[in-house]
Structure 1
Amino acid sequence: MEQDTAYESELSDIKLKLSDIHNDIRSFMESTNHQHLDSVVRSVKDDYSGVIVRHLMDDAGKDLEKNMVKKCEMRGQCKGLLSNVLQKNAGLIRDGTVNEASIEENRLELRKLRTMVPYDKCDICFAEASEIMSKQVTLMRSMKIYETNSEKRQDLSQLPPDVVVGDILEPLCHQKRFEILKAISAETKSFSSLSDLTGLRGGNLLFHLQKLMQKGMIIQRHERGDYMITGKGFKVMEGVSSIYSALTPQEPAEDS
């Protein structure tokens, strides 16, 4: 009887170990799949954005050729100027995200060009260019890369403060935790290497690692194994990087 009880206890321990291993593998696969998917999506956008821009410019050229005033000595010059603005506007697609200020800047350039031409009939050509630009913006909306500020404000109003602060901002608010996430965004790190990196020892480092694991930012491959970033953690760090780039003035390149 005692032997049977011991056997069942050992079997139960083995099942628990197998369950832990299964969970580790599943978490690892989910994490790497998220990152691989993000990489694939970015690659597809890069590959096809150029094709989309060329398609837009081909259509713009055909529409301008067809609908601009035929008998005008400035036709060729104006067509070139309008094409340049439309090409710049279409090129925004390559950035992956388009803000309202960029679109408005191109619209303003069209309006300024209109003030520089002398004829009433010029309204026809500039109305056509404005219509083409509107079509470009409609495509950007359909690609989910352009939102107006009012749309963004509506999205912001839907953010749940408890989730955003508790699950995203609070885990990042400590410099050491940010250093950990930054380090393992590039490669997995062991406990000892993270200790050397952060200057934290034992329980102090473990506290911050557990905080990040609890919030789903990182995982540990297995007991006493290396730490790696999750899909959620990677997306959060990408968002922080985008914010930092947008708010940090870019230094001009030095002349060689």
Structure 2
Amino acid sequence: MLNENEDYKKEITEIKERLGNIQKDIKNLMENTNQQYIDLLLSNSKKEFITALTGYLNHDIENTLEKGMIIECELKNECKVIFKTFLQKNASLINQDNIPEEAIIENQAELNKIKSEAPFEKCKTCFNEISVLFEKQVNLMRSLCIYSTNQEKKQDISTICEETLVKHVLEPLSNRQRLQILKSMANDTKTFSSLSELTGLKGGNLLFHLQKLLDGDMILQRHERGDYMLTEKGYKLLVMLSEVNVLSGQKTD
């Protein structure tokens, strides 16, 4: 079990390194391309990564079940099908961008139900292996930042630095024209003149607002006197604001 845990940690480290390399590539490309292309690149990279990760999880399920289950048991093949179906169902959640806590709770309840119906004392051995596999999958979801419990989310909220959040997020977004500028870059880069025409701001006034967004790392300029474009932070904030807008019951422009 110790060697398996070490192998698992090593595999997770390798996966994180691959993710880090992908993020570096995207950051470099941001200086030379527009947001639409970045989104497409990120989407394709994610699909390839998820496909590879799903293959690893299915292999892990098959390999662990074969090694961990009691060999001399008349129900082994029947139970293996049940366990495999359950674990593959749980592993499929990894395709989601955000896994709701209820989904994991439901799967845990399903596992407990299967366990309660086990007919033999020796079934504990097999269920121990299944529980380890299930927990490994959930931990992987946490590592990928696509799953967290409500308690963990509350802990994240408690770490918010008010001064930093106001300075680098709320204050730059607290102006209608700056928000207008951000929205205009959601699908394409913008020139200074096109932003001037959009907002009605001229020269120094427009530069003031652009600088606020630049200082907040929400936009970047491709090169001196070049087009302006959204950063990853700016794009994510727009998505969050869109969700808040829906919750507030307001119609979008």
- TM-score in terms of structure 2 length: 0.63
Q: Is the 8 A contact 2:30 2:38 kept in 1?
A: no
RMSD of aligned residue pairs (Cα, Å): 4.0
* Secondary structure in structure 2 of the residue aligned to 1:229: strand
Measured after TM superposition, the shift of residue 247 of structure 1 is 9.3
Say whether 1:237 aligns with 2:238.
no
Structure with greater Cα Rg: 1
Aligned residues: 216
Give the letter aligned to residue 58 of structure 1: H
Give the letter aligned to residue 166 of structure 2: V
Say whether 1:113 aligns with 2:111.
no
Q: Is the 8 A contact 1:218 1:227 kept in 2?
A: no
The aligned counterpart of 2:174 is: 173
Q: Is the 8 A contact 1:60 1:83 kept in 2?
A: yes
Measured after TM superposition, the shift of residue 230 of structure 1 is 5.0
Query: Deviations along 1:119-162, whole A, 9 cap, x unmatched?
Result: 24444443332121112233444555544444443333332211
* Secondary structure in structure 1 of the residue aligned to 2:31: helix
Distance 1:246 1:111, change over 3 A: farther
Q: Tell me the distance in 2 between the aligned counterparts of 1:246 and 1:189.
A: 25
- TM-score in terms of structure 1 length: 0.63
Q: Tell me the distance in 1 between the aligned counterparts of 2:81 and 2:240.
A: 35
Unaligned ranges ≥5, structure 2? 1-27, 248-253
Q: Is the 8 A contact 1:195 1:205 kept in 2?
A: no
Give the letter aligned to residue 183 of structure 2: K
Query: Deviations along 1:200-248, whole A, 9 cap, x unmatched?
Result: 344797254343244343345678x5541253xx323224425755996
Identical aligned pairs, as a percentage?
37
Measured after TM superposition, the shift of residue 97 of structure 1 is 5.3
Distance 1:173 1:191, change over 3 A: same
Q: Is the 8 A contact 2:192 2:228 kept in 1?
A: no
Distance 1:204 1:88, change over 3 A: farther
Q: Tell me the distance in 2 between the aligned counterparts of 1:169 and 1:56.
A: 41
Query: Deviations along 1:81-125, whole A, 9 cap, x unmatched?
Result: 32222112222333355554433332122123334x362444444
Unaligned ranges ≥5, structure 1? 1-28, 250-256
The aligned counterpart of 1:82 is: 83
Distance 1:78 1:205, change over 3 A: farther
Q: Which has the higher contact order (CA 8 A, sep 6+)?
A: 1
* Secondary structure in structure 2 of the residue aligned to 1:71: coil
Q: Tell me the distance in 2 between the aligned counterparts of 1:119 and 1:107.
A: 20
Q: Tell me the distance in 1 between the aligned counterparts of 2:138 and 2:103.
A: 11
Distance 1:77 1:222, change over 3 A: closer
Measured after TM superposition, the shift of residue 163 of structure 1 is 1.2
Q: Is the 8 A contact 1:220 1:228 kept in 2?
A: yes
Say whether 1:161 aligns with 2:162.
yes
From 71, 78, 81, give the equivalent of 2:73.
Answer: 71
Query: Deviations along 1:41-89, whole A, 9 cap, x unmatched?
Result: 665443222222222222212322343354335x444433322221122
Q: Tell me the distance in 2 between the aligned counterparts of 1:126 and 1:247.
A: 46
* Secondary structure in structure 2 of the residue aligned to 1:187: coil
The aligned counterpart of 1:32 is: 31
